[in-house]
């Protein structure tokens, strides 16, 4: 590795150490070889001299710089490459097989000058990064031809490559003599002229050149419809949009036309004593059937014939019935219009088909004793002590075990006696 200070253009022992390095401490180039030399460029303070990836390089060596003969070696841009732009390091392939190299390196430790130039994009002449000496050593080798000498009055290959890498900058205008303010980097349909220059070097613009373009031709005929393409895949569902704002309230609608006048109707209610309308009256007193009609004209007053199509509905129940007169044997009394019979010292149990069986404490009571008892509605025989009387005695036999028919009752109200309402 050869270290070079770009400020002094000389070799240094290491970056940051700017003492003079003797030639014998540097790499030497021997005749008849192809060798890769590594150069690392640094600033005066030892920091790397940062390069650009688009930079190109060339390197030459000779015992003098008179240029009236061929150089000992020349490495163009194809023989130079950037190893690390950030570290300022390049590699140069040196061909020392030429006859010129062998003729000039004719003794040991021949002092040979080396120059390294860099061309940045758009830089035609380039800049020298290194100009110092190394030893060229002779050797007995077969030569393979001498490189041509560098011609300073012509652009070197590396310089041409640097120009091409910079690219061209082009502007367009409507007229060739348009002022600079009317030239633009974007071509329009009205543009008719162009001019160009090197993008990096800048400088003067080239002479305007006409654009190859004429007036627009007529539209061609419509081509045949192509085949339908395959259906594309369904794209992912987009995000849900924000709810829209409520719309403004609409204007009030016009008032509707007035409706037709409604017809008047009259409701009448009448009462009767039967579903046939018998006993017709406008008063409900003493009547259990009711009918309603609606008339488009007033009726003053309504008559039975007005309700001829109406349905007579019973709205009041019939009056309840009373028991017939019952004689009380113990006291020789009788009770008329009986509505309730109370059994004392009796028990009640359920029979079948809604029957209720009442059992009395009537010890020793036989069938013969029922002969003189009263009958209720011609069905159930009651003892003479049903209204609270009765004979004292023991035994638990029921007086109804031998009755002609069981007592039919509606409900039992108490534990030791029953209250019966309605018909028995």
**Residue 162 φ/ψ, nearest 5 degrees:** -65, -40
Q: Is pLDDT at 142 greater than 50 in this prediction? A: no
pLDDT at residue number 332:
58
**Residue 169 φ/ψ, nearest 5 degrees:** -105, 125
Evaluated on CA atoms 151, 153, 158, 164, the torsion sign reads negative
Cα-trace Rg, the chain: 69
Structure tokens at 108: 């040991």
| Residue (of 338, 320, 423) closest to 387 by Cα position | 338
> Strand 209-210's sheet: what is its strand order?
168-173, 193-198, 209-210
Specify the higher pLDDT residue, 299 or 164: 299
Provide DSSP, 252-315.
Answer: PPPPPPPPPPPPP-EEEEEEESSTT-TT-BSS-TT--EEEEEEESS--SS--GGGGTTSPPEE-
CA–CA distances in Å: residue 273 to residues 92, 269, 270, 304: 138, 14, 11, 13
pLDDT at residue number 247:
86
pLDDT at residue number 143:
42
- Report, as an integer, the average pLDDT of 11-27: 87
- Report, as an integer, the average pLDDT of 82-109: 93
| Mean pLDDT computed over every residue of the chain | 77
Q: Please check whether residue 275 is in contact with residue 287, taking contact to mean a CB–CB distance below 8 angstroms.
A: no
Q: Is pLDDT at 363 greater than 90 in this prediction? A: no
Residue with tokens 């005066």: 44
Q: Is pLDDT at 132 greater than 80 in this prediction? A: yes
| Residue (of 133, 62, 50) closest to 100 by Cα position | 62
Q: Is pLDDT at 404 greater than 60 in this prediction? A: no
pLDDT at residue number 211:
84
CA–CA distances in Å: residue 371 to residues 96, 283, 328, 391: 167, 52, 14, 17
H/E segment holding residue 93: strand 89-95
pLDDT at residue number 316:
86
Cα–Cα distance for residue pair 326/382, rounded to 1 Å: 10
Specify the higher pLDDT residue, 107 or 201: 107
pLDDT tens-digit map of 32-90: 889 999 999 999 999 999 999 999 999 999 998 777 788 999 999 999 999 999 999 99
Q: Please check whether residue 417 is in contact with residue 375, taking contact to mean a CB–CB distance below 8 angstroms.
A: no
CA–CA distances in Å: residue 117 to residues 98, 125, 204: 22, 9, 26
Q: Which residues contact 201 (CB under 8 A, 6 or more apart)?
A: 122, 123, 124, 163, 166
CA–CA distances in Å: residue 150 to residues 73, 100, 402: 10, 13, 159
- What domains does the chain contain, in order, with CATH numbers? 2-165 (2.60.40), 168-210 (no CATH), 266-314 (no CATH), 320-424 (no CATH)
| Residue (of 228, 166, 223) closest to 200 by Cα position | 166
Q: Is pLDDT at 157 greater than 50 in this prediction? A: yes
Specify the higher pLDDT residue, 339 or 103: 103
Cα–Cα distance for residue pair 84/88, rounded to 1 Å: 6
| Residue (of 267, 272, 274) closest to 285 by Cα position | 272
Q: Is pLDDT at 155 greater than 80 in this prediction? A: no
H/E segment holding residue 397: none
Q: Please check whether residue 357 is in contact with residue 350, taking contact to mean a CB–CB distance below 8 angstroms.
A: yes
pLDDT at residue number 238:
87
Q: Please check whether residue 355 is in contact with residue 349, taking contact to mean a CB–CB distance below 8 angstroms.
A: no
Q: Please check whether residue 146 is in contact with residue 99, taking contact to mean a CB–CB distance below 8 angstroms.
A: yes
pLDDT at residue number 94:
94
Query: Of the spans 288-292, 382-386, 414-418, which averages the highest pLDDT?
Result: 288-292
- Report, as an integer, the average pLDDT of 242-256: 89
CA–CA distances in Å: residue 418 to residues 73, 221, 351, 379: 147, 116, 15, 18
Q: Is pLDDT at 421 greater than 70 in this prediction? A: no
Q: Please check whether residue 291 is in contact with residue 272, taking contact to mean a CB–CB distance below 8 angstroms.
A: yes
**Percentage of the residues of the chain whose pLDDT score is greater than 70:** 70
Q: Which residues contact 228 (CB under 8 A, 6 or more apart)?
A: none
pLDDT at residue number 178:
93
pLDDT at residue number 411:
34
pLDDT at residue number 395:
34
Q: Is pLDDT at 345 greater than 50 in this prediction? A: yes
Structure tokens at 104: 């000039």
pLDDT tens-digit map of 256-290: 899 888 888 999 999 999 988 899 999 998 899 99
**3-state DSSP assignment of residue 2:** strand
């Amino acid at each position: 590795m050869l270290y070079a200070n770009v400020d002094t253009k000389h070799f240094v022992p290491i970056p940051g150490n700017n003492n003079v390095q003797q030639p014998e401490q540097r790499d030497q180039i021997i005749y008849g070889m192809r060798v890769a030399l590594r150069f690392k460029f640094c600033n005066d303070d030892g920091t790397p001299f940062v390069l650009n990836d688009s930079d190109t390089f060339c390197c030459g060596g000779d015992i003098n710089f008179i240029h009236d003969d061929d150089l000992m070696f020349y490495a163009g841009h194809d023989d130079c490459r950037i190893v690390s732009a950030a570290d300022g390091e390049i590699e140069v392939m040196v061909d020392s097989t030429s006859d010129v190299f062998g003729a000039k390196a004719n003794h040991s430790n021949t002092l040979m000058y080396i120059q390294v130039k860099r061309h940045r994009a758009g830089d035609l002449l380039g800049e020298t990064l290194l100009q110092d000496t190394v030893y060229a050593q002779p050797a007995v080798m077969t030569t393979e031809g001498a490189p041509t000498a560098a011609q300073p009055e012509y652009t070197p290959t590396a310089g041409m490559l640097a120009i091409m890498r910079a690219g061209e900058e082009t502007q367009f205008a409507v007229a060739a003599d348009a002022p600079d303010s009317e030239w633009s980097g974007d071509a329009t349909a009205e543009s008719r002229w162009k001019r160009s220059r090197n993008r990096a070097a800048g400088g003067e613009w080239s002479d305007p050149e006409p654009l190859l373009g004429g007036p627009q031709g007529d539209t061609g005929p419509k081509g045949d419809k192509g085949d339908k393409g395959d259906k594309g895949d369904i794209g992912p569902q987009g995000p849900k949009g924000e709810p829209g704002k409520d719309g403004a309230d609409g204007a009030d609608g016009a008032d509707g036309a007035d409706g037709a006048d409604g017809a008047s109707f009259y409701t009448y209610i009448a009462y009767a004593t039967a579903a046939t309308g018998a006993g017709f009256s406008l008063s409900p007193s003493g009547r259990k059937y009711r009918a309603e009609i609606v008339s488009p004209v007033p009726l003053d007053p309504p008559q039975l014939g007005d309700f001829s199509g109406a349905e007579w509905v019973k709205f009041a129940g019939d009056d309840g019935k009373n028991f017939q007169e019952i004689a009380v044997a113990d006291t020789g009394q009788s009770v008329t219009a009986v509505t309730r019979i109370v059994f004392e010292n009796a028990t009640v149990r359920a029979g079948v088909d809604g029957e209720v069986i009442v059992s009395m404490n009537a010890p020793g009571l036989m069938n013969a004793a029922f002969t003189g008892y009263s009958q209720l509605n011609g069905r159930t025989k009651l003892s003479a002590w049903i209204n609270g009387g009765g004979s004292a005695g023991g035994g638990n036999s029921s007086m109804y075990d031998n009755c002609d028919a069981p007592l039919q009752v509606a409900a039992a109200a108490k534990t030791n006696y029953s209250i019966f309402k309605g018909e028995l």
